[in-house]
Amino acid sequence: MAAIFSSCMMNAGPVLGQQPPGPPKPKSDADIIKARQTEVMLESNLVILNVEVTDRSGLPVKGLTREQFSVVEDGMPQPVSTFDVEEIPVATESGVPALPHAGPMIDLSKLPSLETARDSVRDHRLIILFFDMTSLQLPDLVRAQEAASKFVQQRMTSADLVAVVSFASTLNMVCDFTNEPDRVKRAIERLKPGEGSGLAGAAPTGETATDAVTSEDSSGSDPTDAFTPDETEFNIFNSDRKLAAVESIARQFRDFPQKKSMIHFSSGLSLTGVENRSQLRSTTDAAAQANMAIYTVDARGLVALVPGGDASQGAERGSGLYSGQALSRQFSGLSSSQETLTTLAEDTGGRAFFDSNDLSPVFERVQEDTRAYYVLEYSSTNGKHDGKYRQIKVAVNVPNIRVKHRQGYFAAKAFGSLSKSDREAQLQEAMVSERPFSELPFVLEANYFRADAKRLFVPVSLKLPGSDVPFFKKGEKEQAEFEFIGEVRGSRNEPVSSVRDTIRINLSEQTYQQVAGSTIQYQAGFLLDPGSYRMRFLVRENQTGKIGAFEQPLSLPDYSKERVKTSTMVLSALLEAARPDSSVPAGPPLRGRMLEAREPPMNPFVLGEKQIVPSVTRVFFAQQQLYIFFQVYEPGLDRQTDGPDLAVTLLFFKDGKKYTETPTYPVTRFADGLDRTVNCYFTVPLAKFDRGLYVLQANIVDRASQAYTFRRINFAVR
């Protein structure tokens, strides 16, 4: 078997970040920091701890010595090799900076080496202002900029080194660490919604109403090399990429032993793709290892929910407004957009700031939390590179104090030295481990279709950005080998179903160049009963040992309790020729060996001589056709024809308002070879669609039984 290459994505446009040849550019902040990173590589077993010691009233305890500290890792004492004290002044209550010394102006982008930079930041407070441009709407961005500018003008001291970073489709270092207020203020003012601002309003997964998502930074600064900006389609809906951007910043600055404070401005972090708990854990772990506390700020301020939605949104159809379901969804959407921000803050030692139009307290809290702490370094006596979690405990032999520090870290792993059996054991352990894996990012989408009277078939599509795949040359071919392993567990954490595959890819130079700027898609499937499950997938690249993980909950409906029984809605821009054998294991595009004893169902994506290749990221181009597909099961029968009598209308919403609507399509025949199953398949040209984010709603009326339902899904047009 071979992985599927999505030809439509290969030819869709240039690789994001590529530029035509031209004169060399001057070094940007990102270039300089990237160069600094490569100069000094810390030993993999070196551990840096920031330890805060306070008395009962919360005031810092000063004057402690190295001998008063003891560090234990997994029960084993660790000798402290380096001990330092950081004492940093804060502004007075009147807003006038009060400094015991007037330090020189510092700009890390102008320093020649990492060692010089590390010396320069001692006794300084490192603050990163992170602006998530993919969620900040214009009023929220203005509110965040005003708060940040006020901090710079009134509370920033010469001891505060501030960096400004923005994330749109790329990660941009707008301003490197500096204590020059004017430079920081100018960087903040340069942040403006760019041409990507039309991509706002993404919904959480699948079936719910819209929520703000994407704009684009137009500051003009070069993207940071530490974060590889892959295809734009991976950055629009996928919350993983937003979390990965935060993780990249943490790794970028972890060579500085001082405590870092990230102030994360956003309009909420909704799960616009599919929920992936693994990436969230990976981000918080990277922040912990880098001694970076994240202070999340919901720049929407005080949010008042209006029943039925405010004037910026169209009125909801159906009975939801009268039953309370509409308002319940509003509360659920708001809570969901703040839940991840809360997790980021609490798991990294920061704090979340919500429901306040005054954003200034976050800056006061950051300064207070970093005014005095101790820096301890030790080389772990455990030299194993096994990737396991190691617990840390720090004790201070002073009575009546409180000690705060990170609780542990995940050790590095050395893949090249593992034997074949060790590599297999590593993969099996990774399936059940809580350790996060995000070295090989990918996105995943799971759909469901009826397989028989009791079971559902769940096709799973995985998509990897080609820019993140480490190919290696062998002879005249570029090669890569992957292990795909997936597992579904029930509500009691019992294993229910699994899939396992090894994929080897051999490419010519020309095909390799296409794939490197495109995507690789793999698909598999499961047969499951109705119910709630947890699905976890791992992908390992077998040359370097890079592993990516994806986790998401899976809820499958009980069709016996639904009046109008439908599958999920699938969007695509690619049709392929169907093979004669269209069953799941052999019929592409569904790849992967299902470890099931039962007979597999027919491939639901096969329509006559063609089959649909699902779009995982649901990002399309104006020159493409949008293929829309779903199934309806056991509809009422028309008395005259003894067949179905369905009416389907497609509505497209943009920015909360109806953008366009199709005529009502009658669907009056069953699919060939399927028991009372109706294939609903439609084609919509995207040529007249403006660039931006859309919500597609399919209204389905069963005229024979006088029943109604609808399906919603979000997509973007580039």
Q: What are phi and psi of 163, to 5 degrees?
A: -115, 150
Is 544 found in the same domain as 569? no
Contacts of 295 (CB under 8 A, 6+ apart): 261, 262, 263, 264, 345, 350, 351, 352, 353, 362, 365, 366
Contact 695, 718 (CB under 8 A): no
Is 362 found in the same domain as 449? no
* pLDDT range class, residue 443, cuts 50, 70, 90: confident
The reply to whether 127 falls in a domain is: yes
- Distance, in Å, from the CA atom of 549 to the CA atom of 176, rounded to the nearest integer, reads 32
Contact 276, 441 (CB under 8 A): no
The reply to whether 599 falls in a domain is: no
Does 115 have pLDDT greater than 90? no
* pLDDT range class, residue 42, cuts 50, 70, 90: very low
The reply to whether 29 falls in a domain is: no
Is 520 found in the same domain as 536? yes
Which of 36-50, 175-189, 278-292, 626-640 is predicted least confidently?
Answer: 36-50
Is 301 found in the same domain as 226? yes
Q: Which candidate, 374, 367, 365, places its Cα nearest to that of 398?
A: 374
Distances from the Cα of 213 to the Cα of 166, 272, 447, angstroms: 14, 8, 23
Is 253 found in the same domain as 200? yes
Q: What is the pLDDT of residue 436?
A: 62
- Distance, in Å, from the CA atom of 666 to the CA atom of 701, rounded to the nearest integer, reads 10
The number of distinct structural domains making up the chain is: 3
Domain boundary pick from 516, 537, 561: 561
- HSE-CB of 317 using CA atoms within 13 angstroms: 13
Contact 355, 71 (CB under 8 A): no
Domain boundary pick from 335, 353, 370: 370
The DSSP letter of residue 439 is S
Q: Please tell me the pTM assigned to this model.
A: 0.62
Is 249 found in the same domain as 105? yes
Q: What is the pLDDT of residue 91?
A: 58
The reply to whether 591 falls in a domain is: no
Contact 338, 353 (CB under 8 A): no
Is 446 found in the same domain as 340? no
549-573: average pLDDT: 92
The reply to whether 9 falls in a domain is: no
154-164: average pLDDT: 89
The DSSP letter of residue 101 is S
Is 640 found in the same domain as 694? yes
Helices (H) then strands (E): counts for the chain: 13, 38
Is 315 found in the same domain as 251? yes
Is 626 found in the same domain as 556? no
Is 275 found in the same domain as 227? yes
* pLDDT range class, residue 417, cuts 50, 70, 90: low
Domain boundary pick from 496, 527, 561: 561
Q: Which domain holds residue 510?
A: 418-561
Residue holding tokens 């099996």?
428
Does 194 have pLDDT greater than 70? no
Which of 115-129, 273-287, 510-524 is predicted least confidently?
Answer: 273-287
The reply to whether 25 falls in a domain is: no
Q: What is the pLDDT of residue 112?
A: 61
Is 527 found in the same domain as 569? no
147-159: average pLDDT: 89
Q: What is the pLDDT of residue 630?
A: 96
Judged by DSSP in three states, 311 sits in coil
The reply to whether 124 falls in a domain is: yes
Contact 71, 49 (CB under 8 A): yes
The reply to whether 536 falls in a domain is: yes
The CATH number covering residue 703 comes to 2.60.40.2550
The CATH number covering residue 300 comes to 3.40.50.410
Which of 269-283, 403-417, 427-441, 561-575 is predicted least confidently?
Answer: 269-283
Largest CA distance in the chain: 92
204-222: average pLDDT: 30
- Cα Rg, the chain, nearest whole Å: 27
- Distance, in Å, from the CA atom of 588 to the CA atom of 611, rounded to the nearest integer, reads 8
The CATH number covering residue 547 comes to 2.60.40.150
Given CA atoms 98, 102, 106, 112 in this order, what sign does their dihedral have?
negative
